[in-house]
Amino acid sequence: MRKSRIKFAVAGLAALSLIAGACGGSDDTTDEAATEETTGEATTEECTELTPVKLQLQWFIQAQFAGYFAAQDQGFYEDMCLDVEIVEGGVDIVPQTQLANGDVDFAISWVSKALASREAGANIVNIAQIFQRSGTLQVSFKDAGISSVADFAGKKIGNWGFGNEFEIFAALTKAGLDPAKDVELVQQQFDMSGLLAGDIDAAEAMTYNEYAQVLEAKNPDTGELYKPEDLNVVSYEAEGVGMLQDAIWASGEKLASDEAYKATAVKFVAASLKGWAYCRDNAESCRDIVVAKGSKLGASHQLWQMNEVNKLIWPAAGGVGAIDSAAWDRTAALAQETKNLEGKTVLTAAPDAEAYTNDIVTEALALLEADGVDTKGEGFAPIEVTLNEGGN
Amino acid sequence: MTLRRAAYRTFMFVMALALVAALWEGYKLVGPKDGGSLFGVSILPRSNDTAMPHVWDMLSRYARAERRGSDTQIWQVVLSGAWYSLRLSLVGFVLGGSIGVGLAILMARFKRAEQGLLPYLVISQTVPLIALAPLVVAWGGKLEIGAFVWPRWLSASVLGAFLAFFPISVGSLRGLTSAPGAAVELMSSYAATWRQTLWKLRFPAAVPFMVPAFKLGASGAVIGVVVAEISTGLKGGIGRLIIEYAREATADPAKVFTAVFGAAALGLTMAGLVALVDLVVMRNRPKEVAA
């Protein structure tokens, strides 16, 4: 009697572990080994064993991160003797925290947010500034008559909060408006339905995502998709208050103490930049790579995103990934000076000199140039993308 | 008899669904397109097609491709997502159920344990899941016990278990202590050990309390798993689908509802599984006669 009961328990445990085992397997993204043979690689030492590297993204797979997926898919990482696992983000995943905790080796994050984490004690360092320009817009319908920041006065201005609102506040302050009194600030969802429904006069949008979502929606008056002519767009980059966004961050502690990590960082940055150069020249191929990786967004939306992201990266006068000290200082200054509604700034003091380094990216660019990769993209010309309904 | 009853219940279930659909469409018909507000506070929800897609749009969305150019229809995607989340929820439910019943036995056995543990159980449920999720997920890939490496998905199951164990432990405790005093005294007059009393008296007496508790726990496990998926971006399940589709709500509002219904169906399936087990376990028990 007793024995059979134990047997039951064992059987139950076995069944449980079977269920458990069946659940695994589908959560890693690195299983596709690159098969393509690339020649003329700049790696000097013989590669006997791939170095495992984990990269934390800010969000799910999408063309915003196409360069890394392209580097993985095209075997650029493997050529550098790296085995890169790309970890997707989530609603509550903070890439800087994952990096500072040592869960990942590198992380993608916006400069202002990462600097706030650094000020809070996370020893993370910007080693490559991928997006040279800010992609934040304020989008409104033509009939609202908002063609400049000065027109924000008295209007309902959407913003995402969570540290995404500082460019808006900086622009308002610069235009002589008081964010607390002269405009009505509206908390915005992460889609554009607020703008379409009229809750918001001007909605915050990224060039590569939310702006496209409007252009993928049907205008009920005409029965056709909204057109760029229907919209007014205020670009914070053009207004001179753009803050630096996607950058590769590394652990400051390991950079200082671990030579192997530093060498890995150079290789990782070089291969990633090569991936971005590939996406500059092969936007459609990169779209396919991202879609094949399991992005749920439609193909035309992804191609739009790829193209817009390329515009934020290229041309890169100082070489792709190089951190431009002027843009850095502007971001840091805005982060210190711009107060939000609670009177808080992103940073309370200027970031220390160790917050970024061009050492890694300079070495990486030298590797790429020896390899014949165009790292400046002076001849870059964006493609024309036609969006379909729903981004499909 | 039972067959007729089952048919009747199925009929009522379908009718209830139809009623909800009719209410939805009815409101769309009469409700204000842009919502109604009183003194600047919005009271009535919008009834336009972006905020409230037609029932047939949502249902027909299932049969259309997930994206243009992809061969998979959305029902296949939602089904496979629900299957993935179901397995995680089952693991969480079994985990939460074992812990819950274990704690209930402990508390039923020792009064001290009840006094000491119960407040903590209540406190545990006030911790917001989204605060816990990133912490638990950080165990993924880092925790190693011997040859066992903690996989990321197990964190989602643990969060499911976290929501599941509470109603189960409280319900089971109530059930285990529900045996009438005379019956307990009879058992002690037979010199039955505590364990014998537990098996022969307390557990059978607890079943009517435990079944609803397990049903609550089952849907709790689903919620925990779905929230964990949303919060940590775990790929493959229904929670991740909800958030991915929600991003497309601007242009394709029906899409997100397909995943939401999938999650609801998942909760029903889990509760249904418990009911099924109840049916099988209790098949030999005399039907209760109304007093």
| Alpha-carbon gap: A102 to the closest alpha carbon of chain B (Å) | 10
| Average of per-residue pLDDT values in chain A | 85
The Cα–Cα gap between A65 and B255 comes to 24
Task: Please determine, for residue A22, whether its predicted confidence score (pLDDT) is greater than 50.
Answer: no
Whether A305 shows a pLDDT value over 50: the answer reads: yes
Does A48 score more than 80 pLDDT?
Answer: yes
At B78 the three-state DSSP class reads helix
Higher pLDDT, A299 or A360: A360
Find out whether A138 and A157 touch, Cβ atoms under 8 Å.
Answer: yes
Residue with structure tokens 């290789």? A267
As a whole number, mean pLDDT of residues A240-268 equals 94
pLDDT at position A133 is 93
- Helix, strand, coil percent values for chain B (each to nearest 5): 70, 5, 25
Question: Do residues A247 and A124 touch, judged by C-beta distance below 8 A?
Answer: no
Could you give the CA distance from residue A151 to residue B272 in angstroms, rounded to a whole number? 57
Query: Residue A29 has what pLDDT?
Result: 40
Is it the case that residue A391 has pLDDT exceeding 80? no
Is the complex ipTM higher than 0.90? Answer: no
Q: How much is the CA Rg of chain A, to the nearest whole Å?
A: 23
pLDDT (0 to 100) of residue B173? 94
Which of B127, B97, B89, B82 shows the shortest CA–CA distance to B221?
B89
Please judge whether B251 and A94 are an interchain contact, meaning their C-beta atoms are less than 8 angstroms apart: no
Amino acid at B205: A
* Contact B271/A at CB under 8 A: no
Residue A60 pLDDT > 60: yes
pLDDT given for residue B232 in this prediction: 80
At A30 the pLDDT is 42
Distance CA A206, CA B202 (A): 61
With contacts defined as CB-CB under 8 Å, which chain A residues touch B87?
19, 22-23
Q: Give how far B176 is from chain A: nearest CA, Å.
A: 21
Q: Can you give the pLDDT at residue A83?
A: 95
Contact flag A91-B87 (C-beta cutoff 8 Å): no
C-alpha B157/C-alpha B142 separation (Å) is: 17
What pLDDT, in 10s, does the model give residues B69-115? 667 788 888 999 999 999 999 999 999 999 999 999 999 999 888 88
- Which of residues 180 through 219 in chain B touch A, CB cutoff 8 A? none
The residue extents of the domains of chain A are: 51-132+244-378+385-391, 136-235
Q: Does the beta-carbon distance from B153 to A23 stay under 8 Å?
A: yes
d(CA A205, CA A210): 5
Residue B288: what pLDDT? 57
**Interchain contact, B153 vs A297, CB within 8 Å:** no
For residues A103 and A120, is the Cβ–Cβ distance under 8 A? no
pLDDT of res. A235: 95
Amino acid at residue number A263: A
Residues 31 through 50 of chain B touching chain A, CB cutoff 8 Å: 34, 46, 48, 50
**Hey, is the C-beta of B87 within 8 angstroms of any chain A C-beta?**
yes
Please count the other Cβ atoms lying within 10 Å of the Cβ belonging to residue B240. Answer: 24
Shortest distance between the Cα of A348 and any Cα of chain B, in A, equals 26
Q: Which residues are within 8 A (CB) of B59 and not within 5 positions of it... i.e. 6 or more apart?
A: none
pLDDT value at A266 more than 90: yes
Sign of CA dihedral B180, B183, B188, B189: positive
Nearest to A30 by CA among A67, A60, A75: A75
CB hemisphere CA count around A73 (13 angstroms)? 19
Question: Which of A91, A288, A305 would you mutate first to test chain B, the one with the most B CBs within 10 A?
Answer: A91
Instruction: With 0.95 as the threshold, say if the pTM is over it.
Output: no
The answer to whether B278 faces chain A, any CB pair under 8 Å, is no
On whether any CB of chain A is under 8 Å from the CB of B236, the answer is: yes
Domain boundaries A136-235, CATH class = alpha beta
Query: What is the C-alpha separation between A82 and A269, in angstroms, rounded?
Result: 11
d(CA A212, CA A214): 5
As to burial, measured by CB atoms within 10 angstroms (0-12 exposed, 13-18 middle, 19+ buried), residue A18 is exposed
B231 and chain A: CB distance < 8 Å anywhere? yes
pLDDT at B33: 77
pLDDT at A267 over 70: yes
| Shortest Cα distance, chain B CAs vs residue A72, angstroms | 19
* Listed range (A93-97, A296-300, A324-328, B135-139) with the worst mean pLDDT: B135-139
Report CB contact under 8 Å: A93, B233.
yes
For residue A149, the 8-state DSSP code is: G
Q: Is B90 on the interface with A (CB under 8 A)?
A: yes
Residue A106, pLDDT above cutoff 70: yes
Which of A19, A90, A192 is closest, CB to CB, to B250? A192
| C-alpha Rg value of chain B to the nearest Å | 23
Residue A42, pLDDT > 50, answer: no
Cα separation, B157 vs B136, whole angstroms: 10
Amino acid identity, residue A265?
A
A20 to B231: CB separation less than 8 angstroms, yes or no: no
DSSP letter assigned to residue B46: P
B 98-137 residues with CB below 8 A of A? 130, 133-134, 137
- Contact of B68 with A299, CB cutoff 8 Å: yes
- Residues in chain B closer than 8 A to A388 (CB atoms): 68
Please indicate whether residue A37 or residue A145 has the higher confidence score (pLDDT): A145
Q: What residue ranges of chain B have pLDDT lower than 50?
A: 290-291
Distance CA A28, CA A289 (A): 16
d(CA B71, nearest CA chain A) in Å: 13
Lowest mean pLDDT among A165-169, A209-213, A331-335, B182-186: A165-169
Q: Maximum CA pair distance of chain B?
A: 75
Q: How far apart are CA B63 and CA B14, in angstroms?
A: 21
DSSP secondary structure code for residue B179 in this structure: S
Q: How is residue B6 written in tokens?
A: 């089952």
**Chain B residues with CB inside 8 Å of A193's CB?**
50-51, 249-250, 253
Q: What pLDDT, on the 0 to 100 scale, is given for residue B38?
A: 67
Average pLDDT (A38-54) is 69
**CB contact burial B73-88 (16+ within 10 A = b; e otherwise):** ebbebbebbbebbbbb
Residue in the block written with tokens 């509760």: B271
Architecture in CATH for domain A51-132+244-378+385-391: 3-Layer(aba) Sandwich (3.40)
Structure confidence at residue A179 as a pLDDT band (50, 70, 90) = confident
Share of chain A above pLDDT 90, in %: 56
Q: How far is the C-alpha of A289 from the C-alpha of A294, rounded, in Å?
A: 9
Look at strands B36-38 and B41-44 and give their pairing. antiparallel
DSSP, residue by residue, B137-153: HTTTTT-EETTEE--HH
Instruction: For residue B201, count other CB atoms closer than 10 A to its CB.
Output: 18
Angle between helical axes of B152-176 and B129-137 (0-180°, round to 10): 130
Are the folds of A51-132+244-378+385-391 and A136-235 the same? yes
pLDDT of residue A390: 74
